[in-house]
Chains A and B, each alone.
Chain A
């Protein structure tokens, strides 16, 4: 299964303050460990929201664009990793080993990625019925 580990922003990351040399090195080492363990699929850091924008979707089909920066620092995203793991707990154990990405208290949120099989569970009764019909048809054709 895959998870995304989302690094939340801080005052510093939003201010574009680069992490200390030391921290960068520790972070690099941590990334390296995940790569060597075969669990890291992808990861990027994001520029502060001052360089970002939001597109809002009004219920009436209207689209509005608002430029950053945005206020709710703790809820903003500073970066992510995409990981391949056997269980959600494995991702948690990995992320617990991550050096604090910022010079202040911070947070990394972990979320499971939807995969093809997951959608099977979301089959509506209608789709499930359709599946049954296709299956029955295929059997008839044998």
Chain B
């Protein structure tokens, strides 16, 4: 195998195997930092040996065996200080676990449990959101520190430190590496979903022409979401999140114009939407709906996205249904942005006057202060009511608040339309 090819093949195998490898090791040694070190040791060994011997038939097993051998070496040399009490008893227990023969096909359930535990641990609430995101992408997503840094437009050293500190925090807080019990489950799951959706949104914000890895974050997030939904198939919110991401990502091919400008949803060329993702998203949503009533926040957002996805043309959008879904979402989150979106939907379903009334109710909402979409929405409704001058004023206000050059352009153009 030539060096280049070998390197690429090993990277590919690593991407497939590393999360489960780290997860299995984490269960054995009780510490994600040590687990990752051991996994890295195994990778180094693979990089040394596989170019000569070829990729083994069962790469996952090879890596696990190698990592365990390294662990035994380290134990013998006293290099693996147990983060918890350094009792002889614990070391003996650890040695025993390391000596366990790897069953040729370790029960899928066990591997699944390990991976699920790792996912929950990496997004433990004791960590900051940034730390959770970095740790999840590193341990579960198998991105390198450099890739994470490029994806989030920060320095590599910043990410490296974030990850080191995160591992230390988990160890010091003695966070057990396990999936949460029923009592904490909902809250902990929400934390995981938040991390995955944060990764998706970062990718969503990336524009065409930027470093490709930023766009790839959406694919990464969808992959993580699918893995989670596969491991926790009875959790409707996990399915809801996957549905939401797939339905939103389906619109990507239509969202940018010829000169890189953002095209709003209602003006997009729907023939460019990705129907593979729409099909998948709708199916995931169906499964979420079959599992629970009422729907959780991610499933609700997915259901809203589904209303758009099902409409062949904007005129066919089921706006009353969208309003009802926003009712549900507002009841759960009470978020002013949700209420804003609901007002826009009401404007579409029941006429601009109705929508405007709701927006007026949001005028003094502190959280929306400086949020350009509020005046933009008012401008839209005023325009439809024929109140052109007031509309122009709102669009100008929105343009001034917008942080995005292209968007500012579009809003200013609308402000100047009647002049």
Contacts and interface: CB of A to CB of B under 8 A. Distances in A.
Contact of B9 (A36, A89, A134, A137): A89
B291 interface: no
Interface stretch (B157-165, B221-229, B353-361): B221-229
A94 B280 CA distance: 21
Contacts, number: 72
B259 interface: yes
Chain A, interface residues (CB within 8 Å), range: 20 to 34
B103 interface: no
A138 B261 contact: yes
Contacts of B219: 84, 86
Interface in A128-142: 131, 134-135, 137-138, 141-142
A133 to B, nearest CB: 9
B231 A87 contact: no
Given A38-B226, A117-B208, A89 B261 contact: no
B96 interface: no
Interface residues of B, number: 35
A67 B11 CA distance: 45
B216 A93 contact: no
Interface string B187-225: 000000000000000000000100010011001001111
B409 interface: yes
Contact residues of B: prevailing secondary structure: helix
Main secondary structure of the interface of A (DSSP, over half): helix
A36 B231 contact: yes
A89 B12 contact: yes
Nearest to A35: B230
Nearest to B147: A86
Contacts of A120: 208
Contacts of A89: 8-9, 11-12
A130 to B, nearest CB: 8
A36 B224 CA distance: 10
A36 B227 contact: yes
Interface of B: 8-9, 11-13, 15-16, 55, 112, 208, 212, 215-216, 219, 222-227, 230-231, 252-253, 258-261, 276-277, 279-280, 405, 409, 413
29 contacts: A35-B230, A36-B226, A36-B227, A37-B227, A38-B222, A38-B223, A38-B224, A38-B225, A38-B226, A41-B276, A41-B277, A42-B276, A42-B279, A42-B280, A82-B276, A84-B222, A84-B223, A86-B219, A89-B9, A90-B12, A92-B12, A93-B13, A116-B208, A116-B252, A117-B208, A137-B259, A138-B409, A141-B409, A142-B409
Given A89-B11, A117-B212, 15 more contacts: A37-B227, A38-B223, A38-B225, A38-B226, A42-B279, A82-B276, A87-B12, A89-B8, A92-B12, A93-B9, A116-B252, A117-B215, A134-B258, A137-B259, A141-B409
Closest 3 CB pairs of A and B: A38-B226, A38-B223, A89-B12
